[in-house]
Amino acid sequence: MKKYFWLWMLVLCAIGAHAQSPRKLDSLRTVLAQLPPEGSSYASDTMRVRVLCEVAQQMPLIQIDSTIKIFEKSLLICQQIKWHLGECMSNYYIGYYQVGKNDLMKGIDYLYKSLAIAEKEHLTFYIARNNKTLGDAYSNLGSYGKATKHLKASVKIFAALKNKREELLAMNNLGLVYFDKADYKTSIPYFKQCLNENKTAQIDNLDDIFLANLGASYREMGNLDEALQELIQVEDILKNKPRYQYRRLLNLLSIANVWLSKGAFVKAELLLKQIEELQLKEGTEISQKDIYKAYLELYKKTKNAPLALEYYEKYIVLDKKLTQQDQQHRIENLQAGFDNEKKESEILLLNQNVKQEILLKNIFTGGAIFLFLFAVLFWRNSQKLSKQNKIIEEQRLELQSTNSQLETLNHGLEQKVQERTSELQHANETLIRKNEEIVLAMVEGQTIERKRVASELHDNLGATLSAIKWRLEAINGHNLTDKERKIHESTLEMMKGAYSEVRLISHNLLPAELEKGGFKGALEKFIADINSSNKINITHTLESEAIPTDKKIQLELYSIALELLNNVLKYSQAQNAHVALYKQQGNVIFEVSDDGKGLDSQQQSNGMGTKNIENRVQSLNGTISYQPQLLGLKVEIYFSKF
């Protein structure tokens, strides 16, 4: 369970940080170099702290130790000049990044220091921020009571501040606390509430976080279909966002694991191959380890012992490597922290001695200069004051006149904006009506053309074939030789078949039943005609609520059904078949299954029929899959919406 919590904790850290712009980082460093030396003045020192904090937040996430050192330097400056806001801010960021690198106790210590200053100085925003990060840290330590207390306080304060983004993130983290406790019935309402409130707030880059956590909760509860639905929505959000491809990689891995849990091993393996391509561009060693683990589970469940052993060895080697790196990193951090504290103590003592000497010299020199300058400035200011009063009065009168003119202009501008807005609304309404008329005309035109072609086939070509068949039947077979009689009989059979094919094509181009009884009536009539031949038995289940209301879509769906049933009749050698149309989890699913020879005998990958089916499915924004069965083949077509 912990892996899900820290996965999305890392995501939140990435969101909270500023965009990592090398150009902006260079600009900030230039500003820092141009500031006066440290200790020159209170104003320059506070400016130095602000720039240092901004530099640290622009640092790449992988340089977290360097980032913490910069905040420690800013904290030292704030303590020397007694700037409480800067102390609160620096302590918070040090604690925030310590929690991010999983040094939880050290991070909690800094966060409490920041919280104490924030409460004393009434810094409401930082009170909320510290509570939020303390809640995350305690949740990872397993102190769920403290975590819940801090996060609830954070949600309440951010709501009062009307900071919706931080409020939703704190609420999401509160849901993660219950997720970590395996209390999924409590965690799920928090994630759903975040999604619901963000429909109004419309804050970017948040919905995928809430959906992923919701999907993880469903998966842990064993509700695999609901989990898959939420995770697929995350994929739809992230697939066109190049900046978040690593988050997409992790989400696809979650989807693959759901497929494994559902026993859909073919889908899981195909998705893992796609994930491997993304891993080459965006992945880390941590995500690579999870990919190895997924492959291990796949081949264990499919009882492929050699491949299972291969991926088990890869997983163990990489896991051992990452564990050793983590231990070495912790040792280096402890040593660096000890060295830094020692150096900082020495520097602080040296700075205090130097400042005391400078202060004594400046007191004597500054006192004399101050008295002289005060006398000069007092005389000059008294002279300037009378002149400035006159100028201020003149400017006040000019300002009144300018304000009056601006009010007149604003009133006229508002009227013009209202008129233009009304014109644009009218034009937009006209355009919408025209588009609807064009679509309707297009559908009517297609229907008319189908009727014309069907009529031409039936009246002209059908009549011609019928006449030829009649002439062939008129020939007396008794007067022919055996060879001629066989040719005559086979030609007559071919002519009967051609005539039947023309009638069938003519009927199916635009059957009368489709116009009278709609999709359901037409398809039921077609199935009844096939069953009357006694060559195959076709059953059907057609749910009325799944049938589209649009006539054009009904025609396309009817054409797909005919193509699929035609393939069954031609290639499957089946005795039974079933046609189904139904709704499932908001999707419309169309199925055709049979008990024939299966995929090898039916699939004509280069045939016109298969290409026509795929083109029609694609035009309706659907996806098609061929699923071999124990007997025969099942073709499933998914439509998310018509």
Query: Which of 260-274, 342-356, 446-460, 503-517 holds the top average pLDDT?
Result: 260-274
Span 582-614, pLDDT tens digits: 998 889 999 999 999 886 644 544 455 678 888
Q: How confident is the model at residue 509 (pLDDT cuts 50, 70, 90)?
A: low
Give the least confident one: 61-75, 328-342, 540-554: 328-342
Residue scoring higher pLDDT (483 or 567): 567
Range of the domain at 525: 518-639
On whether the CB atoms of residues 200 and 167 are closer than 8 A, the answer is: no
Exposed, middle or buried, 121 (CB in 10 Å: 0-12/13-18/19+)?
middle
Q: How confident is the model at residue 332 (pLDDT cuts 50, 70, 90)?
A: low
Look at the block and give the residue holding tokens 């035609």. 566
Q: How far apart are CA 257 and CA 227, in angstroms?
A: 11
Strand order in the sheet with 576-584: 537-542, 576-584, 587-594, 633-639, 622-628
Q: What CATH code is carried by the domain that includes residue 607? A: 3.30.565.10
Q: Can you tell me whether residue 625 is helix, strand or coil?
A: strand
Instruction: Report if residue 618 sits inside a domain.
Output: yes
Instruction: Report if residue 598 sits inside a domain.
Output: yes
On whether the CB atoms of residues 117 and 159 are closer than 8 A, the answer is: no
Stretch 508-515: mean pLDDT, rounded?
63
Stretch 397-401: mean pLDDT, rounded?
77
Neighbours of 245 (CB within 10 A): 15
pLDDT at 437: 61
Residue 142 falls in which region: left (phi positive, over 0), alpha (psi -120 to 50) or beta: left
Instruction: Report if residue 404 sits inside a domain.
Output: no
Exposed, middle or buried, 356 (CB in 10 Å: 0-12/13-18/19+)?
exposed
Name the β-bridge partners of 584.
587
Instruction: Report if residue 59 sits inside a domain.
Output: no
On whether the CB atoms of residues 267 and 224 are closer than 8 A, the answer is: no
pLDDT at 15: 37
Q: How far apart are CA 130 and CA 118, in angstroms?
A: 9
pLDDT at 212: 92
Instruction: Report if residue 550 sits inside a domain.
Output: yes
In this structure, the chain runs to a length of: 642
Report angle CA 407, 410, 411 to the nearest 5 degrees.
Answer: 85
Span 169-226, pLDDT tens digits: 999 999 999 999 999 999 999 999 999 999 999 998 899 999 999 999 999 999 999 9
Stretch 4-33: mean pLDDT, rounded?
56
pLDDT at 555: 83
pLDDT at 624: 92
On whether the CB atoms of residues 208 and 185 are closer than 8 A, the answer is: no
Whether 9 has a pLDDT exceeding 50, the answer reads no
Give the least confident one: 90-94, 101-105, 175-179, 590-594: 101-105
Residues 6+ apart with CB under 8 A from 576: 536, 537, 538, 539, 594, 595
On whether the CB atoms of residues 236 and 244 are closer than 8 A, the answer is: no
In one-letter notation, the amino acid at residue 620 is L
pLDDT at 397: 79
What does the CA dihedral 433, 434, 437, 442 come to, rounded to 10 degrees? -140
Whether 10 has a pLDDT exceeding 50, the answer reads no
Stretch 404-418: mean pLDDT, rounded?
76
Angle between helices 42-58 and 22-34 (to 10 degrees): 160
Q: How many domains does the chain have?
A: 1
Exposed, middle or buried, 369 (CB in 10 Å: 0-12/13-18/19+)?
exposed
Angle between helices 2-16 and 207-221 (to 10 degrees): 180
Q: How far apart are CA 523 and CA 512, in angstroms?
A: 11
User: CA nearest 275: which of 297, 260, 290?
Assistant: 290
Report percent pLDDT > 90 for the chain: 38
User: CA nearest 140: which of 288, 10, 318?
Assistant: 10
Instruction: Report if residue 592 sits inside a domain.
Output: yes
Name the β-bridge partners of 587.
584
Report percent pLDDT > 70 for the chain: 78
Instruction: Report if residue 255 sits inside a domain.
Output: no
pLDDT at 269: 92
Instruction: Report if residue 580 sits inside a domain.
Output: yes
On whether the CB atoms of residues 72 and 340 are closer than 8 A, the answer is: yes
Stretch 254-263: mean pLDDT, rounded?
92
pLDDT at 471: 66
